[in-house]
Amino acid sequence: MTSTPLPLLSSPAPLAPPVSAAAAEGGAAGPYESYVYAYPHKTAYRAFGRPRALRELWADEPMDALSLYLHIPFCEVRCGFCNLFTRVGAPDGLTGAYLDALARQAKAVRRALGDGRRVQFATAAFGGGTPTFLTAGELTRLCDIAEQDMGADLRAVPLSVEASPATATADRLAVLAERGATRLSLGVQSFVDAEARAAVRPQRRADVEAALARVRAARIPVLNIDLIYGIEGQTERSWRQSLDAALAWRPEELYLYPLYVRPLTGLGRQGTGADPAWDAQRLRLYRFGRDHLRAHGYEQRSMRMFRRADAPPEVADDHTCQTDGMIGLGCGARSYTRTVHYSFDYAVGRGRIREILDDYVSRPADDFAHAEYGRELTGDEARRRHLLQSLLRADGMDTGAYTACFGSAPAADFPGELARFAARGWLEPERADGVLRLTGEGLAHSDALGPELFSPAVRAAMAAYDLT
């Protein structure tokens, strides 16, 4: 599990499972219902009745502050908690074929955006999977695709890249640093070897520390370390060991993730289901981690994200995830305009992932000029997305900006939901400056609060999706 500041709280990251009956009915749910990193999740996407031409989808969209995301669907190992769109390893020639397809897609998308239009990217990210699964030479080509085929100036915008300790080698990091990477996110999860094994994340602390030393030596400005709480056998003492080991590197960012056990993952085969004792353990460890990081000079930006108070600014000032578009390249990426979200088909099962990947690398250039899977996002759904994208951030929501977008106030559009959140102590009264913000307990319950804002139609589509 790795993270990036695009487009909401973290990364194009793990699958959000169907919400519980309690959340769907608006009742009080457990604190860990679903990680909401984007709305709607790709399991709510469906095949369009006919392919949608990208030229038409982007014809009336603003192009001055887009996000660019390139997805690399390969990893050296699949962690026990992972249900990302990725495959373990790559047969000879597959990564090259994938980059060939990525280049064809980039050229087709850039043409579809309009040859005579000025297209400007405000942020960029390489995610996955593990982008640093690619060799140094392949990473160079990935950067070339972003710059030469899509027109992004990687040295002029924030560029975030995800990595694992095993693949954060000096030659790869040198390429990323030279090409303008400003943020490197390292998926550590735990500095305790026994906990790493329990999460089916085979790694040794010594190797993690060596990888962190290489990242610091590469002088990439922002280091993020991902940690997970709720692992079997984890205690408050061992959790503090991991926190302190991470803090010793003075990372500019830390993401603290609760462990989820989802269908079709290594841990998921051991069984899933509600567990109040585990919920209580995770909530206790979250609060300890939150308070520990605050005491060491970190500011909380969301339930998961903590940033060192003196860290350099990272997210572009001219990009707003609630209103600006995103171009995703690769078979695991999503793209969105103001009214349509789209991607390729999605799966978790290994066989289906390989089928989708094989289809992607065999596609001719013309196939990339159309969107085949996605979801319309207008009216009520657009309002829900804006509310989610804003409210789950620690600094809250500018209600004036919401009203400027939709001509109505959040309290008028979501009176029942906001009243319930306030009654539970999750929502502060709206401030005089128009900011609507979660309380500390509201942030702690973000993974329960977010799913309650899903529309009935999105809930139904997610529940009906075949993950295999």
List, in order, residues 6 or more apart from 116 with CB less than 8 Å away: none
The predicted structure's pLDDT at residue 199:
81
Separation CA 365–CA 383 (nearest Å): 35
**What percentage of residues in the chain have a pLDDT greater than 70?**
87
273: confidence class by pLDDT, cuts 50, 70, 90: low
The predicted structure's pLDDT at residue 92:
82
Query: What are the pLDDT digits (tens) for 35-72?
Result: 888 899 888 999 999 999 999 999 999 999 999 999 99
The predicted structure's pLDDT at residue 454:
96
- The amino acid that residue 78 corresponds to is R
The predicted structure's pLDDT at residue 412:
97
pLDDT mean over 392-407: 96
425-436: b or e for each residue (b if 16 or more CB lie within 10 Å)? ebbbebeeeeeb
Instruction: Identify the three-state secondary structure at position 137.
Output: helix
User: Are the C-beta atoms of 449 and 34 separated by less than 8 Å?
Assistant: no
Q: Which residue has the higher pLDDT, 444 or 37?
A: 444
pLDDT above 60 for 15: no
Tell me the fold of 45-308. Answer: pyruvate-formate lyase- activating enzyme (3.80.30)
Cα-based distances in Å from 125 to 10, 328, 345, 461:
11, 10, 21, 28
The predicted structure's pLDDT at residue 264:
43
pLDDT above 90 for 23: no
Q: Which residue has the higher pLDDT, 196 or 116?
A: 196
pLDDT mean over 347-367: 89
Please give the model's pTM, rounded to 2 decimal places: 0.90
466: confidence class by pLDDT, cuts 50, 70, 90: confident
The predicted structure's pLDDT at residue 332:
86
Angle at 179 between CA 168 and CA 86, to 5 degrees: 45
Cα-based distances in Å from 39 to 66, 97, 124, 129:
18, 31, 20, 20
Quote the radius of gyration of the chain (alpha carbons, Å): 21
The predicted structure's pLDDT at residue 145:
98
Give the range among 68-77, 173-182, 422-431 with minimum mean pLDDT.
68-77
List, in order, residues 6 or more apart from 339 with CB less than 8 Å away: 376, 377, 378, 382
- Beta-carbon count within 10 A of 450 CB: 25
| Block residue for tokens 């099962």 | 349
Structure tokens at 96: 């090259």
Residue 453 backbone dihedrals phi, psi, to 5 degrees: -95, 0
User: Are the C-beta atoms of 211 and 249 separated by less than 8 Å?
Assistant: no
The predicted structure's pLDDT at residue 261:
75
User: Are the C-beta atoms of 426 and 449 separated by less than 8 Å?
Assistant: yes
Q: Where in the chain is the domain with CATH 3.80.30.20?
A: 45-308
Diameter of the chain by CA atoms?
61
pLDDT above 90 for 443: yes
Instruction: Identify the three-state secondary structure at position 434.
Output: coil
Query: What are the pLDDT digits (tens) for 81-90?
Result: 555 666 776 7
pLDDT above 80 for 209: yes
Beta bridge partners of 335: 342
The torsion angle over the Cα atoms of residues 186, 187, 190 and 192, rounded to 10 degrees, is: -70
Angle at 73 between CA 314 and CA 103, to 5 degrees: 80
Give the range among 143-152, 245-254, 458-467 with minimum mean pLDDT.
458-467
pLDDT above 70 for 93: yes
Q: Which of 27, 7, 13 is nearest to 452 (CA)?
A: 27
Q: Which of 186, 229, 239 is nearest to 208 (CA)?
A: 186
